[in-house]
Structure 1
């Protein structure tokens, strides 16, 4: 794990190569087909290493935490049963946390009667009801759009169900960290590279293929700001400056999430990105075996 632009994929691939492993992606956006540059798939890095949970959903589908956990468990069992090593690689904190702390998630069907009851309520009333049903609310985006808010209430008020047995996962957790100034430089350089590689054209294509502008807002910062640029709301210079600043802020939020994970008992072995993280990782692994 690590913040955006920290070098997670490269390290994960090298570890998989040395340890007979396969990558399971823990990235909430790389699941989407055709969303390559903006999500930073960098598929060329994998070479001969098999990967999972990338390109599994079509743009327009709202992939969720339950789907991720379901597909993760399937990939984990498949890789393990073939006597290979599963390596979970990514920076989406909620995805990592649901595996490392074993969230018990169930599939929640639409409740049409509940939706009829919620229909006359205002956004404020809906938000209050969600907070009452889920005092530990962690996804604030559920509060900003009516359909997501209603769905979140539906899930929060669903009666507890028996979940399937959780596999025996004994993780060794490696995190890559950089000096704040260096990671800012890496983020800025990568953004320039992605724009040069055709990120604006990628968003333009997605919209032309039927993904509406408002839906692109939910596919991450790159798609949100490029969509605003294509709609004429941001100049090219404003696009770069505002998006660059937003990604820096996102990296800080990732760091805060990792700190909360540690406070909740998740032990992370931190590797120095500016040093030799591969050698350091192998040393940690050898000591833990």
Structure 2
């Protein structure tokens, strides 16, 4: 398998699609929000990017869940393994592509958790705590569990933080629920983008997505029955745009707050990927500004070396 990872706005999807076309591969998404139907602009699906000329590059684990649902790592592990086994059975090379480091690491390690039930008593106890208080509790639990299962990008709302704490509490008291799945040998390619360039691209892309109808997309989800609380659970675009729609902020406040939040998110993504390297993963980094053909040639060379 080939894994293509990188922060938001780095161009990782374009690289994965070009590689898939070159190698007759199919793409498995590793994005925790692109699984939701109807959440297109805000999650940056850019489905048109999966078409090169008249050729449609097959992709998986996008648009597989209804909006408002709570998709999680356990579900992703199941869905990934189903797709992976199908591709292996057909002799097709999988390219795992995305920016959700937790999903990528869990798949490559072969580490999975059993489903964790909700605990009403714990949720009630935590319901009045602030996000900063919840984060401090989560950090303490992670230390006790020796866990890497959550980072700040997973807990940017109180609901997500409470769920993360719930999972860590469960694992602390039910360690036998952990189990190993077969790990996957993968060439890991990281798209490295200069911080200033990344910031410019994030701002430009945010403006473009707002012009493409991101506010209208969120309004349609709300009108379709998805609650404001459920949308804000997803963080980033859905949190800030929902707050704007329901009157908690004006347009300028929404834009500036969201811009800052996405910059911070991209920084946290890179922190996770660097952490993966410290935890023993070998990531081969490509300069995001290289011409696409040069990127493909470099990946081909890495494949050749790995297959020696």
Matched residue, 1:90:
98
Per-residue CA shift, 1:48-104, capped at 9, x if unaligned?
111111011101110000001110111110011100001100000101110122213
Structure 1 CA distance for aligned equivalents of residues 45 and 106 of structure 2? 22
Equivalent pair of 2:240/2:254 in contact (CA under 8 Å): yes
Match of 2:43 among 39, 43, 49: 39
Distance 1:121 1:130, change over 3 A: farther
Equivalent pair of 1:134/1:156 in contact (CA under 8 Å): yes
Matched residue, 1:206:
221
- Choose 29-38 or 150-159, whichever is displaced more: 150-159
1:40-59 pair list within 5 angstroms: 40-47=44-51, 48-59=56-67
Per-residue CA shift, 1:22-50, capped at 9, x if unaligned?
10000000000000000010111112111
Matched residue, 2:108:
100
Equivalent pair of 2:36/2:63 in contact (CA under 8 Å): yes
Matched, 1:178 2:182: no
Equivalent pair of 2:27/2:95 in contact (CA under 8 Å): yes
Matched residue, 2:173:
157
Structure 1 CA distance for aligned equivalents of residues 46 and 111 of structure 2? 29
Matched, 1:25 2:36: no
Give the TM-score normalised by the residue count of structure 2: 0.83
Equivalent pair of 1:8/1:89 in contact (CA under 8 Å): yes
Give the TM-score normalised by the residue count of structure 1: 0.89
Equivalent pair of 2:157/2:232 in contact (CA under 8 Å): no
Per-residue CA shift, 1:226-255, capped at 9, x if unaligned?
011111222212221221111111111111
Where 1:84 maps in the other structure, the secondary structure is: coil
- Choose 53-62 or 152-161, whichever is displaced more: 152-161
Matched residue, 2:158:
144
Where 1:173 maps in the other structure, the secondary structure is: strand
Matched residue, 1:280:
298
Per-residue CA shift, 1:6-35, capped at 9, x if unaligned?
111111011111112110000000000000
The structure with the largest strand share of the pair is: 2
Equivalent pair of 1:142/1:149 in contact (CA under 8 Å): no
Structure 2 CA distance for aligned equivalents of residues 101 and 73 of structure 1? 13
Question: 1:161 deviation in Å?
Answer: 4.0
Per-residue CA shift, 1:240-271, capped at 9, x if unaligned?
12211111111111111111000000000000
Question: 1:170 deviation in Å?
Answer: 1.0
Structure 2 CA distance for aligned equivalents of residues 107 and 227 of structure 1? 29
Aligned residues: 284
The gaps in structure 2 that reach 5 residues or longer are: none
Distance 1:32 1:288, change over 3 A: same
Equivalent pair of 1:108/1:158 in contact (CA under 8 Å): no
Matched residue, 1:235:
250
Structure 2 CA distance for aligned equivalents of residues 271 and 119 of structure 1? 43
Distance 1:189 1:173, change over 3 A: same
1:257-268 pair list within 5 angstroms: 257-268=272-283
* Root-mean-square deviation (Å): 2.6
Equivalent pair of 1:23/1:51 in contact (CA under 8 Å): yes
Distance 1:212 1:156, change over 3 A: farther
Moved over 6 A (4+): none
Equivalent pair of 1:133/1:157 in contact (CA under 8 Å): no
Structure 2 CA distance for aligned equivalents of residues 143 and 241 of structure 1? 18
Equivalent pair of 1:142/1:148 in contact (CA under 8 Å): no
The gaps in structure 1 that reach 5 residues or longer are: none
- Choose 1-10 or 277-286, whichever is displaced more: 277-286
